[in-house]
Amino acid sequence: MIDKLEYLMALARERHFGRAAEACGVTQPTLSAGIKQLEAQLGVLLVQRGSRFIGFTPEGERTLDWARRILADSRTLQEEMRALKSGLAGQLRIAAIPTALAMVAELTTPYRLRHPEVRFTIFSMTSIQILTALENLEIDAGITYLDNEPLGRVNMVPLYRERYCLLTSAEAALGNRDSVTWAEVSRVPLCLLTPDMQNRRIIESLLRAAGGEPRPMLESNSMIVLFAHVRTGQWASVMPEKLAETLGLTETIRAIPITEPEAVHTIGLVVPPREPMTPLAAALVAEARRIGSDLNIEARKQTESGV
Amino acid sequence: MIDKLEYLMALARERHFGRAAEACGVTQPTLSAGIKQLEAQLGVLLVQRGSRFIGFTPEGERTLDWARRILADSRTLQEEMRALKSGLAGQLRIAAIPTALAMVAELTTPYRLRHPEVRFTIFSMTSIQILTALENLEIDAGITYLDNEPLGRVNMVPLYRERYCLLTSAEAALGNRDSVTWAEVSRVPLCLLTPDMQNRRIIESLLRAAGGEPRPMLESNSMIVLFAHVRTGQWASVMPEKLAETLGLTETIRAIPITEPEAVHTIGLVVPPREPMTPLAAALVAEARRIGSDLNIEARKQTESGV
DNA sequence: CCGGAGCAATAGGTTTTTTCAATCGTTCTA
DNA sequence: TAGAACGATTGAAAAAACCTATTGCTCCGG
């Protein structure tokens, strides 16, 4: 029965019998028959049949909810047993929003020191994709904004606060400044993430609040692309401080803090709200708490010294 | 995999491969092989092997916890689908402590009016048995004391309050009284439930508190046996008011309220703390709340008029 | 110390289930 | 109207699940 629920989940993900079958490592007739069996066992139609995949019936949607739960539990069971036998080992799938990609290393590196047998897969996703992927058990944890747009039901661990910089050549218009305002930035032609990214939406709203109208000269869903363009000295972009540092500043490229207002958003780890967590996920949360509390202490120190 | 988890649960219940197999409707080698497969799949030993069944390994115990969850969820899924298809139907297994057996009808009767297709199985169990049976998914709900001895993790719905009467012949020592004290009762030879019953322990502690030493002349785990003896006119017993009423009083048998102190214990419905509940269990809880609130209102009225 | 009873594991054979390759029927599109 | 895409169907082969019968072990009673 558990296999059949896997089929159903795959079908929900792929919305296509053939691809779902491939994802499950079986042929299309096998998956087709599996779904049929599930329908027979439950005595209800789960999939709306037509010449092609249309969607699920209400019963099918409800069954999917249960499948998520049951599969999550059965995977946790399996992983827990493996952890008991041979220590923490296995695969940890983490998705992060592009602006947080560089900081994933701060999480994975100490994790790996504690648990050398764990392998990682890191995905770059939009914050919305992260939430659905968490739901569908495609990833174990996500790194995304905690405080901007509504999250689903997840457990959160704050990691750090994102402050924004103008990344530009020292020879460019604002290149010699020590700080700039959002109003000034709004007049610079920028390279920005695509609008499906939350970071883009945040920056747009900040620019608009400062009275400007965002008109990016170049869009990409990859921070690498943006940085590569800035690096030529001919383009400018807005990036989180942390990311700019990681990507490395040269003599000619400067990261200039943007003030007025100093916009801050919290980035953190999100995991499914299931109790108990898989051992791998639990260890990741522990790691995140360490980093998070470090940064909180840091932030507090800064605040105190600032006063 | 789900079948294998069923095997494991049955083995935990029966503590015997053969009987567990029979309970699952398979032969002993099949169940044996099933457990082996589960062990292979999880990569750990689950059962302590010896010449006979000894017990589970720590990993086995942990796996049992998960099995309970996973099986409960998968059953809820199946039942929910059946409820969607053909309305509320199926089997509802309820266990009650002996003193509450008579009141089960107050729950099942209105339930049946609302949902005529649901069939019931009622077990008489001790309060401790009820809790383990709930854990092991052998019953869907229990009726037991809510306030005396510690319950496990369950959701509770109060149903009524148990007040105690001396049940005795009108010609016997205290037979002509309108009320008696626990101290007086402690000097009467009684028929009581066996000591594994919580009711017996409650009554014993009340008798001891009144300075007496309980010396029951006859013990049974069946209230019917106790009542049958009292009915001869030659024996006496202590019973909850509600039960005495249901069993029927004759001219010669009287139920005399016991006061000083007026001991009251709450009896209620207990269900596993799983969210969401099966449709059948949810309907039972709804019914219990109706009865419970009725009685609460009644109790309040009594209190008010008493003041 | 021996023999029988009770219990779980194993062996061997049968049935059932699962799976896949090939094909079909339908629907949408160019 | 031909072709492509998609899911259902079919039939044969492979895998598995299951059962009966048996074995091997341990514990007890004599």
Co-location of B121 and B107 in the same domain: yes
Would you state the pLDDT for residue B295?
A: 57
- The answer to whether A43 contacts B82, with C-beta atoms less than 8 Å apart, is yes
Co-location of B175 and B108 in the same domain: no
Residue closest to C8, CA→C1'? B52
Co-location of A298 and A224 in the same domain: no
Could you tell me the CATH number of the domain that includes residue A278? 3.40.190.10
Could you tell me the CATH number of the domain that includes residue B168? 3.40.190.290
- Interatomic CA distance for residues B42 and B45, integer angstroms: 8
Could you tell me the CATH number of the domain that includes residue A28? 1.10.10.10
Residues of chain A with pLDDT under 70: 217, 294-307
Co-location of A195 and A271 in the same domain: no
Nearest C-alpha of chain B: how many angstroms from A40?
11
**Domain assignment of residue B252, given as a range:** 160-264
Would you state the pLDDT for residue A296?
A: 55
Domain boundary among B82, B104, B128: B82
Co-location of B17 and B101 in the same domain: no
Co-location of A142 and A275 in the same domain: yes
Radius of gyration of chain A (CA): 23
Domain boundary among A24, A55, A83: A83
Co-location of B254 and B237 in the same domain: yes
Is any Cβ of chain B less than 8 angstroms from the Cβ of A54?
A: no
Co-location of A237 and A195 in the same domain: yes
Co-location of A7 and A76 in the same domain: yes
Is any Cβ of chain B less than 8 angstroms from the Cβ of A76?
A: yes
Residues of chain B with pLDDT under 50: 298-307
Co-location of B150 and B274 in the same domain: yes
What's the Å distance between residue A105 CA and nucleotide D7 C1'?
Answer: 44
Co-location of A135 and A179 in the same domain: no
- If one counts the domains in chain A, the total is 3
- The answer to whether A74 contacts B81, with C-beta atoms less than 8 Å apart, is no
Would you state the pLDDT for residue A124?
A: 85
Would you state the pLDDT for residue A295?
A: 57
Per-position DSSP letters for chain B, written without gaps between them: -HHHHHHHHHHHHHSSHHHHHHHHTS-HHHHHHHHHHHHHHHTS--EE-SSS--EE-HHHHHHHHHHHHHHHHHHHHHHHHHHHHHSS-EEEEEEE-GGGGGGHHHHHHHHHHH-TTEEEEEEE--HHHHHHHHHTTS-SEEEEESSSSPP-S-EEEEEEEEEEEEEEETTSTTTT-S-EEHHHHTTS--EEE-TTSHHHHHHHHHHHHTT-----SEEES-HHHHHHHHHTTS--EEEEHHHHHHH---SSEEEEEEESS--EEEEEEEE---SSPPHHHHHHHHHHHHHHHHHHHHHHHHHHHH-
- The answer to whether B74 contacts A66, with C-beta atoms less than 8 Å apart, is yes
Nearest C-alpha of chain B: how many angstroms from A282?
17
Is any Cβ of chain B less than 8 angstroms from the Cβ of A37?
A: no
Domain boundary among A31, A61, A83: A83
Residue closest to D10, CA→C1'? A29
Strand D, nucleotides < 7 Å from a protein CB: these are 5-11, 17-21, 24-27
Q: In a 3-state reduction of DSSP, which class is residue A17? A: helix
Would you state the pLDDT for residue B151?
A: 79
- Interatomic CA distance for residues B285 and A146, integer angstroms: 37
Q: What amino acid occupies position A294?
A: D
Is any Cβ of chain A less than 8 angstroms from the Cβ of B273?
A: no
CB of A83 closer than 8 Å to CB of A15: no
What's the Å distance between residue A39 CA and nucleotide D19 C1'?
Answer: 29
Which candidate, A11, A22, A24, places its Cα nearest to that of A53?
A11
Would you state the pLDDT for residue A22?
A: 83
Is any Cβ of chain A less than 8 angstroms from the Cβ of B276?
A: no
Would you state the pLDDT for residue A28?
A: 84
Co-location of A97 and A179 in the same domain: no
